[in-house]
Structure 1
Amino acid sequence: MKKELPAKYYLAHFRELLTFVSEKCMHLLEQKHISFISKINTLDEQSQCMLARIYSRKPYLVQTQSLNYKEISSPYQALFKLKAAKLIVEPSDKDHKQLLSHLTKPALIELLEKQEQTPLFKKSAAKSNLVEIAISFFESKPECLAHLYNQYVINNREEYYEYFEFLYIGRLSAGDINHQNRFVLRDLGVTPVRQEHNESLSRFDSIKEAQSNYALNRLRLTLKNTKDDNEREELAKQLINKVAVGVIAQELKNKLLVILFKQLKTTNPTLAFDLLNACEDDAQALEIQIREQYRQGNKQWVKAQLEQIIENPLSDELLYFADDFLMRKFNKQTRSRLSEMLASTRCIIEVDELYRGDVELGVSDHYTRQGKQVFYTENTLWQSLFTLVFWQELFIETPTPPCNEFDIFPQALKTDSFYLNQSSQIEARLAACNSTPKLLRLVCNHAAKYYEQPNGLFRWHPDVLKPVEMLILNSPITALLQHLKNMAKNYRQLKDGYPDLMVVDNSAVHFEEVKAPGDKLKRNQLVSIDNLKSCGFIVNIAAVNWYVDPKRIYSVVDIETTGGLKGGNRITEIGIVKIQQGNIIDTWTTLINPERPIPRFITKLTGINDAMVSDAPIFSDIVSTLLDKLSGSIFVAHNVNFDYGFIKKELEELGINFKMPKLCTVVESRKAFKGLKSYSLGNLSTHFNLDLTNHHRALDDAKAAAQLLLLVQQTDSQ
């Protein structure tokens, strides 16, 4: 259940932040920040409430008439005291552009119409055009706006308060997301926080580090709002000269430099390359430089750089790039050693083309039909195993504890210092898990103890342990421990890029990276797959070939319900007609007790009433039969997402993940029979003389949709 917001919650958040800054961050403040806090502490509660409310607003200007709140009994008195303390000020002539931009369109029109020499404008013009006209007109007549200035106050949260927020959160957010909103979402129980967190800590050691990170975050937000190359060039010059203090600041600066390079490389190549040269120890920037220099013909410089990378790589991804580039461009080979190794793992899997929308499901069903267990794993499997093994070292016995309750992602993983700082703890943990039972026991104990505690690495759900358990039980313990150690050493390189599927067969595990025609392996996938293979895991690159299976089985489904998909509505009847090679091979139907009243209009439409379903099975009673009927087939329905969505929703309520290839007879009919006025099942049945004698009963509708499907297939074959 969500919590209720406390009384004067904005004030509570305001004080909470100021207390944190005063107690933990005095070494990160300038004199102006200290003076600001001192002024706040001399204010009465009403004035503090008002300032907190102003800082919760997004615009630069805030209209005083809008500052009416239940907890502030005398808003104008509070505003007067804030002005007297010089904590807020009214706008002046220098703010006339912001003021005019802030006005509503009706207010702009009224303002322009009241002038003695009214400028030419159309009331139907866009607001942006009216703002331009007003700015131009009042440029020489700023005194005409004087009567508006006292109706607003300047929201100067950026000058002081935003820096305080940054010290607490460590990041600036665009739009309406700010520190106070984080607190509101926390109080409502929406934002996950670390419940056991007791004491907040400063996240920066020095004022230079804090201000460097803050300034770079401000440039990041500025970059998001740049509109043209002139603004980007100005920002680029600022960024090149901006000093980055600390690992996180340097990484952010490198990221921004590369983004600006890509935006300016065609319009201002000289400045663009200055941006690349300003990057420090950045693999992406170095790769771009090598590619660009090669295009320009500087091949000797490129070769020297590639050889240097291979000798001392910044990352495995950069090493693979250098190895591949050197082989192809200088040694005239089409593949690098790594590419050759990966090519040897390639296998071809024939998949029915109906799986084009979900190729992983096609490969999963391919192995399931062979009697193998398949799990969708990708990154979640290794993230959850890694977290559950090292929970103590990451969150409890760590030299880099979270700075506050909002820090749910381990700081040591952000800076890749986990193994560097805690190697003895990590080695001891792995040594204690030197057998399958020991490792599984540790994972299960941690899962039971810390279930649903936010961790920033994976999301808890009821089945999170099942694939982890299967991985542990069916893998060599040495391979598991080696890969966990590699993740601890190089988490940022091995946090993602893992294969899509885990296949379990005869007490053995192998992984499948699924690639449809035209798909390519990404660099991070090469890194993770290579690492898994070096640890002893079997990894296949499943290259999919599409084909049309003439023996496809189609399960044409129709359901009746108590109403639409939303609003807690339930299924009252299911009908299934199974088709293979143009013949009906099975039919099945059942009424279902929806465990809620059936509305009158639904009874009028379907003929199904409460009495008819009172003794019918509930949905959970027919689940095994339903899944057996649908197994190994294509789910077909008229408006398929309605029927599929209802069944998926019902199964998820029972903890069953439902996934099937699906086909919509509405979509297929539109393609096969173009130009019809209506594609409803009733109208199509009339048009094609299909057998539909009892419309809006599940089996009858399913039979009609099955006939329609056969008609579509006949048309397609012709």
Structure 2
Amino acid sequence: MADPIELTPDYYLSNFHALVDFVMARYANLLSDAERFFYDQFRGLTPDSQRLYVRLLSRKGVPSSRGALFRQHKLRYSEIADLTAAVDELIAIELLQRNPSLPLAEILPLFTKSELFASSPEPLPKSLKRPDLEHALLELDCAQIRRTLIREEPCLAVQAAEHFETFKLLFFGNLNQDLTDYVLRDLGLFRYEQYPLEQAQLPFQSRAQIEQHLCYYDCLREAECALTAGVDEITTLAARLPAGIEGDSTLHRRLDRLRLTLARQLERLDALGDADHLYRQCSHPPARERRARIAVATGDTTTALALCADILAAPHHEAERAFAESFGYRTAKKTGCTDGWMAPRRHRAPAETVALPQTPERVETIAANHLVHQAPGNQCFYVENSLFNGVLGLFIWDILFAPVPGAFFNPFQMAPSDFRTPDFYPQRRAAFEQRLAALDRDELNEYVWRHYREKWGIANPLVHWEALPESLLSLALERISTEHWRALFRRLLSDIAHHRSGLPDLILFPAAGGFELVEVKGPGDRLQQNQQRWLTYFAQHQIPHRVLHVEWQP
């Protein structure tokens, strides 16, 4: 991890420059005339004006129809020498607007309750709560109240923020991140892998693609209101969603996620036909599951069973397959004909129950100490999800950060953008298959130890550095066979979003050799479904495992 450094007072301006310059250098041909003009205007400002504009862009402000609102007299920034001059320069080129013409309702939130009471042309009860106070003022002489509020207190509206939204989208790939990412880098909290960002690999390749992403985020902002409004508002919003761009799997996933949310609310509102219509437009889980449930709810068991059969023929992940097996069998059983449907079988993992004295330590630590003391020379580590994910991350480090088209938006990603998606493995299938096919102990050791020493401290979504001491890594690489590593890697890679969790708590290295994975369950604790699926997989591949149930001694 990099050594922390002291940030300059206007560190945010350097970060802003880096962001907009990055976008201009790579996407200038995809920007609109207004967006390029915005960039040129900003770059031509004096440093103080640039600092003030970035400060205001980064703050929330009071939302209004003319941009985020701020009270000029409330602005205090030690690094801005002449704030008044900065405001005037920004107003002159229309990046700020002073006292914009706005309905009084949009101005009132800028002021305190005491200021609002003072602005009233007639006395109002001091017991009024803020919503009631604002309502009372709106029923009085709005023009007089407005003049009173802004007479000595000019308000400023930030302009052209929508252009910066486009820059943010192109840099981060979304509108959820902000310049904080830079701060974490500058403070030394994160170090990032270096990967190429050439034009051919960039995620955005057309203006139409940008417009569709921006349209998606507009719809996402409106979704909360639509979800609480009713069926008509939800279906209207769904109809406004963009169609998607061929080859843009990121946009496709986001649209699916929003459609699934809208459809699920339609289900709750008993608009099952509208919900089913939306689910049909989704290609990601749980769309087929929800359609099967809707079909049963409407008495159409034939469609429900057909959907379950479709899932079993091509499941997206194990959880979806488990649903189809269980729901399909239950549905077929209700029809009185279970031909072709079998009751799901659950693997019963080897289990042991021990009574141990309760101490302030966590139950996994108590269990690990118990296993260590069972025989001289035993070693036991609390690893949960860190060991196998970490070794995989070290083994495939170069593939993970390979320049796959659309995987990296900017230099500050700890993972490719498709890492937690169904596209992650297929996009790199050839490289993964070649690596796994050639896997032997020497190669595994070579990749893991080289990356462990060369990449220490660099952010990797699979590697938790502090949880991988050399002693643990050495034992794991020595004791676990390449066949078992290959089986573990294959399951992790097949659905990394779901399979990277649910792994056993402990790994035991008996003095006599070998290893064993131990899932610890304290009093009242039960196996979760993802844990059960891992235990079933261990049984299929002869990976030593058991469940250790801990009870407290009286």
TM-score using structure 2 length? 0.84
Counterpart check, 1:388 vs 2:386: no
Q: Secondary structure at the match of 1:508?
A: coil
For the residues of structure 2 that align with 1:151 and 1:249, how far apart are their CA atoms?
42
| TM alignment of 1:498-647, pairs within 5 A | 498-505=503-510, 506-515=512-521, 519=525, 521-542=527-548, 544=549, 546=551, 549-550=553-554
1:364 corresponds to 2:368: yes
Aligned counterparts of 2:452 and 2:255: Cα–Cα separation in 1 = 38
Q: Which has the larger radius of gyration?
A: 1
* 2:192 maps to 1:194: yes
CA change 1:139–1:496 in 2 (3 A) is farther
> For the Cα contact (< 8 Å) 1:355–1:361, is it kept in 2?
no
SS at match of 2:413: coil
User: How far apart, CA to CA, are the structure 2 residues paired with 1:24 and 1:86?
Assistant: 27
1:45 aligns with 2:47: yes
Q: CA deviation at 1:108?
A: 1.7
Contact 1:306 1:323 in 2 (8 A): yes
Structure 2 residue 486 is matched with structure 1 residue 451: no
CA drift at 1:19: 0.8
Against the structure 1 CA distance between its residues 420 and 545, is the aligned structure 2 distance closer, same or farther, given a 3 Å change threshold? closer
Q: For residue 64 of structure 2, what is the aligned residue in structure 1?
A: none
1:150-299 correspondence to structure 2 within 5 Å: 151-156=154-159, 158-173=161-176, 179-190=178-189, 192-194=190-192, 196=194, 202-223=202-223, 226=225, 229-230=228-229, 234=233, 237-243=236-242, 244-245=244-245, 246-267=248-269, 269-270=271-272, 273=275, 276-277=278-279, 279-299=281-301
Q: Deviations over 1:62-120 (max 9, x none)?
A: 121233434433322322222221222234343432321121222222222xx1x44x3
Aligned equivalents of 1:121 and 1:507: distance in 2?
81
Q: Tell me the residue number matched to 1:619.
A: none
Tell me how far apart the structure 1 counterparts of residues 314 and 197 of structure 2 sit (CA, whole Å).
Answer: 41
Q: Assess, with a 3 A threshold, how the Cα gap between structure 1 residues 283 and 357 changes in structure 2: closer, same or farther.
A: farther
Match of 2:354, SS state, is: strand
Q: What's the CA shift for 1:152?
A: 1.2
Seen in structure 2, the aligned counterparts of structure 1 residues 338 and 294 have a Cα distance that, compared at 3 Å, is: closer
Contact 1:409–1:457 (CA<8 Å) still a contact in 2? no
* SS of residue matched to 2:545: strand
| Aligned pairs for 1:79-94 within 5 A | 79-94=87-102
1:219 Cα offset (Å): 4.2
1:200 Cα deviation after fit? 7.7
Deviation for aligned residue 1:448:
1.1
- Asked if the contact 1:63/1:151 (under 8 Å) is kept, the reply is yes
Q: CA deviation at 1:280?
A: 1.2
> What's the CA shift string for 1:12-57, capped at 9, x where partnerless?
2222222112111224423321222232233333332322222122
SS of structure 1 residue aligned to 2:162: coil
Shift in Å, 1:397: 6.7
Alpha-carbon spacing, 1:149–1:413, altered in 2? closer, same or farther (3 Å): farther
| Residue type of the alignment partner of 2:456 | Y
SS where residue 374 of structure 1 aligns?
strand
For residues 369 and 344 of structure 2, the distance between their equivalents in structure 1, rounded to whole angstroms, comes to 28
Distance of aligned partners of 1:211 and 1:449 in 2 relative to their CA distance in 1, 3 Å threshold: same
Matched, 1:374 2:376: no
State the shift of 1:388 in Å: 0.6
What are the Cα deviations for residues 428-484 of structure 1, in whole angstroms up to 9, with x where unaligned?
43355412x442343122111111111132321174444443333222211212332
1:248–1:196 distance in 2 versus 1, CA, 3 Å: closer
Partners of 1:55 and 1:155 within 8 A in 2 = yes
1:103 paired residue number: 111
Letter in 1 for 2:158: N
1:653 aligned residue:
none
Q: Give the letter for the 1:194 counterpart.
A: Y
The residue type paired with residue 367 of structure 1 is: L
Q: Measured at CA, do residues 293 and 232 of structure 1 come closer, stay the same or move farther in structure 2, by a change above 3 Å?
A: closer
Structure 1 residues 36, 486: closer, same or farther in 2, change over 3 A?
same
1:512-570 C-alpha deviation (Å, 9 max, x unpaired): 3344566554443344444444333133344x374x525xxxxxxxxxxxxxxxxxxxx
1:13 and 2:19 are equivalent in the alignment: no
Distance 1:411 1:482 in 2: 25
Q: What is the Cα deviation at residue 61 of structure 1?
A: 0.8
Indicate if the aligned counterparts of 2:301 and 2:331 stay in contact, CA closer than 8 A. no
Q: 1:62 is aligned with what amino acid?
A: F
**Normalising by structure 1, what TM-score?**
0.66
The structural deviation recorded for 1:380 is: 1.4
Determine if contact 1:503/1:512 at 8 Å carries over to the other structure: yes
Is the contact between residue 219 and residue 235 of structure 1 (CA under 8 Å) also seen in structure 2? Answer: no
**Aligned-pair CA distance for 1:384:** 0.3
Distance 1:376 1:211, change over 3 A: farther
Q: Name the CA distance, whole Å, in 2 between partners of 1:421 and 1:507.
A: 39
For residues 343 and 366 of structure 2, what CA distance do their matches in structure 1 show? 28
Counterpart Cα distance in 2 of 1:268 and 1:366: 53
Q: Which amino acid aligns with 2:411?
A: E
Q: Supply the distance in 1 between the matched residues of 2:468 and 2:78 (Cα, whole angstroms).
A: 46
Structure of higher RCO (CA pairs closer than 8 Å, 6+ residues apart): 2
